[in-house]
Amino acid sequence: MKVLMLSTSYPRRKGDYAGNFIHELASALAADGVGVSVAAPADKGGGSFQVMDGVSVERFRYFWPSHLQGICYGGSIISNMRANPLLWLELPFFVLSYFYTALRLSAESDIIHAHWVLSGALAVAVKKVTGKPVVLTVHGSDLNARPGNRLASMAYSWIFNSSDLVIAVSNKLRDGILPLVKDRSKVLVVRNCVDLSKFKPEEKGRKDEGKTILFVGRLTRDKGVGYLVEAFGAVVGAHPDAKLVLAGDGPMKAELVKMAEEAGLESKVEFLGFVSHDMLPDLYRNAAVLVLPSLSEGFPLSLVEAMSCGLPAVATRVGGVPEAIVEGETGLLVEPGDVRGLSEALRRVLADGALRRRMSEAARGRVVSEFALSLAADRMVKAYDRVIKEAGP
């Protein structure tokens, strides 16, 4: 079986966090004997071809001079274009180059697997030309960002119904897709999963992790980081030795730095900036609790990575988060935007070492049974087999 994956985000180098969960799935499939190739946009500096962990990756160039390419990476396509309206000039070239690359590479593939709705639209266009079946994975941000008008709903519905199989990364996301499809049986849930050999607890058990609260993700409003910094002020009142570590970057950084300074927390809030994916296991192992205060989510991989390392979590009850956290057993859930509830949950976890230890063990166990990368790869192969069989010769 040969699979062509289309993605607007894919690791540009070893340890790069951009689209890393897609690469981990692709490499797991390759290890199982599936032939996997990937078409992804180049970053600034041009395009290239490389083989990463058994996966053939072609990065297409879409603008000249290449150092001006800025539609992808560093943020979502939408956020990048909002920050720099001149990128709209690159969009037609991006779409044409993406389509041509996908069309060319599809000749050597049995099936096309697109990630995010934009890639799904291009995959469907390729299908109209070649007849190759299409699997589309919706990750959450693409559906959550859908404009609330009839035209957008019609476009999304056309893409979903033209795909042979639509995969949602959570049950909550599937519920948002179902009203837009005619055949409910073609919507399947396959959650994001993690490599258990990479994200694992310390062999000798969790050490005395102090009172470090860890956030991993983009510093954007939809991640709720403003509420987090506000809540952290109340946490410090009860735990003067608490520390907040923010691993990630984004448009809210300057505002968050100012918030911390005005609250007198600048010595207790550490901004790490973008962090290599290879550094994350140690960050998870050396924290007391992961915090995910998002206002919306698909199925956050950082949450499952942390749980796999035995790290309990405090997170908001949004998207697929409640499908990962068992309330009171592997973490605590709060309502989005609830500063008081967030601070109370964090204070509770920091104050109770026995609770942290119980949650740590339960969190790892839940990931092993439900979110192992090998399980996702097996489910995906079965999905491909189903689509190819139904598509016929």
Residue found by looking up tokens 């404009």 in the block: 147
Strands 2-6 and 111-115: parallel
CATH 3.40.50.2000, applies to 2-193+372-391: yes
Indicate the pLDDT class of residue 48, thresholds 50, 70 and 90. Answer: confident
Task: Look up residue 245 and give its DSSP letter.
Answer: E
309 token code pair: 């390392």
Residue 146: pLDDT above 80?
Answer: no
pLDDT of residue 106: 96
Q: Where are the domains of the chain?
A: 2-193+372-391, 212-370
Q: Residues 366, 171, 360, CA angle at the centre, nearest 5°?
A: 20
Q: Give the pLDDT band (50/70/90) at residue 206.
A: low
Tell me if 2-193+372-391 shares its fold with 212-370: yes
Tokens at 180, concatenated:
């837009």
The per-residue pLDDT for range 104-137, each reduced to its tens digit, is: 999 999 999 999 999 999 999 999 999 999 999 9
Check pLDDT > 90 for residue 13. no
Query: How far are the Cα atoms of 80, 113, 119, 126, 387 from residue 43, in angstroms, in the given order?
Result: 13, 21, 17, 23, 32
What pLDDT, on the 0 to 100 scale, is given for residue 161?
A: 96
What is the per-residue burial (b if ≥16 Cβ within 10 Å, else e) of 311-342? bbbbbbebbbbbbbbeeeebbbbbebebbebb
Maximal C-alpha separation, the chain: 67
Q: What is the pLDDT of residues 317-335, one digit of tens each?
A: 998 999 999 999 999 999 9
pLDDT band, very low/low/confident/very high, at 372 (cuts 50, 70, 90)? very high
Interval 51-85: pLDDT, tens: 989 999 999 999 988 888 999 988 788 888 888 99
pLDDT at residue 205 tops 70: no
- Please give the average per-residue pLDDT across 127-151, as a whole number: 87
CA distance 76 to 141: 9
What does the pLDDT look like over 244-275, one tens digit per residue?
999 999 899 999 999 999 999 999 999 999 88
Of 4-18, 60-74, 192-206, 336-350, the range with the lowest mean pLDDT is 192-206
Question: What tokens were used for 9?
Answer: 């985000």
Mean residue pLDDT across the chain: 92
Please check whether the domain covering 212-370 is classified as CATH 3.40.50.2000. Answer: yes
Say what the pTM is: 0.89
Question: Residue 207 pLDDT more than 60?
Answer: no
